Structures are given as structure tokens and as C-alpha cells.
């Protein structure tokens, strides 16, 4: 195979195939990053909404995690932050953090969604400071705080 002056393949067909392969791998990476971000955001959302839904008798935390800690649906309905409820919230928070950590820059249009990452991480930090009590943390950040996190992520790359 002949090489061009820059060290790459000289054949136009080979160059085209190499470009297409690079684009496909970038698209795959962007898709994986977007899925990871969406899953992490959703898991953080489940934690944020668990207190609200518990009052209505809806259980969003995993039954297996609740049972492992000795908690049940009644603890949720009565908004008791028992050790089992806290352990279940901590397990879901760990899954959310893992997925958010997997979301990263890929150089594609999906990178714009990464401004959501520091918002989810900030809420998970609050939950952790509250001892993983899903009932002891407001379900959302102050709008100014959310905006500041998103702007810092967008313009300075902070939190990404």
C-alpha cells in the first residue's frame, strides 16, 4: 500500500473507508455516552422522586435493596429513613454515579447533553451529605444553582 506524504494511505478508496470507520466509531461512542448519561440522570431522578411517590404508595427503590436492609413499603409510605431505606438509596446513587462517570465527551452533538451531568452529580452529593435519606433532601436544586452548574459545564467544561 502506498502512503501519502502525511503517512496515511494514498488510495482515495482506502482514505474514504478509514474516514467512514472513524465516523462510525465516534457515533458508537456518542451513543454509549448518551445512554450512560440518560441512565444516570434517570436513576438520580428516581431518587429525587422517591419521597413524593412514596406518599402515594408507589415504590421506586428496588425491593431487593430495601429487603436486604430490613425495610419495606411501609417505611417508604411513612417516609421513615430507616437503615434499609438509606442502603437502598445509596445503592441506587452508586449506580447513578457509575453511569454518569461513563458519560464523557465524544466530539459529537450529543456532548451538548453533558451539561446535565453536573446537575445530577450535585444532587447526588446533597443526598450523600444527608446520609442517603431520600426524604431529607429537597427534590430539586435551586434554579440559579442549576443554571450556574449548566453554564460552567458548557463554557468551562467543569463537571464533565
Res. 15: pLDDT tops 80:
no
Of residues 139 and 39, the one with the higher pLDDT is 39
Does residue 118 sit within a domain? yes
Under the banding of pLDDT at 50, 70 and 90, the label for residue 7 is low
Does residue 17 sit within a domain? no
Mean pLDDT of the 143-159 span: 69
**Do 127 and 47 meet the contact criterion of CB atoms below 8 Å apart?**
yes
Does residue 41 sit within a domain? yes
pLDDT in tens, 38-77: 999 999 999 988 888 887 888 888 888 888 888 888 888 8
State phi, psi for 9 to the nearest 5 degrees. -65, 140
The number of domains in the chain is 1
Res. 127: pLDDT tops 90:
yes
CA gap 85, 47 in Å, rounded:
11
Does residue 85 sit within a domain? yes
Mean pLDDT of the 74-90 span: 90
Under the banding of pLDDT at 50, 70 and 90, the label for residue 34 is confident
Does residue 15 sit within a domain? no
Give the structural domain span for 41. 37-156
CA gap 40, 61 in Å, rounded:
15
Check residue 97 and give its pLDDT.
96
Q: What contacts 72, CB < 8 A, 6 or more positions away? A: 66, 84
Does residue 139 sit within a domain? yes
Of residues 83 and 108, the one with the higher pLDDT is 83
Check residue 24 and give its pLDDT.
61
Does residue 25 sit within a domain? no
Of residues 74 and 90, the one with the higher pLDDT is 90
Does residue 95 sit within a domain? yes
Amino acid at each position: 500500500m502506498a502512503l501519502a506524504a502525511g503517512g496515511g494511505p494514498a488510495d482515495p478508496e482506502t482514505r474514504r473507508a478509514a474516514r467512514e470507520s472513524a465516523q462510525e466509531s465516534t457515533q458508537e461512542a456518542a451513543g454509549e455516552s448518551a445512554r450512560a448519561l440518560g441512565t444516570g440522570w434517570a436513576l438520580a431522578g428516581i431518587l429525587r422522586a422517591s419521597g413524593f411517590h412514596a406518599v402515594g404508595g408507589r415504590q421506586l427503590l428496588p425491593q431487593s435493596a430495601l429487603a436486604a436492609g430490613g425495610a419495606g413499603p411501609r417505611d417508604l409510605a411513612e417516609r421513615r429513613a430507616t437503615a434499609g431505606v438509606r442502603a437502598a438509596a445509596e445503592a441506587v446513587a452508586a449506580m447513578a454515579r457509575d453511569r454518569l462517570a461513563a458519560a464523557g465527551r465524544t466530539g459529537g452533538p450529543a456532548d451538548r447533553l453533558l451539561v446535565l451531568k453536573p446537575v445530577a452529580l450535585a444532587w447526588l452529593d446533597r443526598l450523600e451529605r444527608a446520609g442517603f435519606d431520600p426524604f431529607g433532601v429537597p427534590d430539586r436544586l435551586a434554579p440559579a444553582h442549576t443554571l450556574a452548574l449548566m453554564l460552567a459545564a458548557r463554557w468551562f467544561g467543569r463537571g464533565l
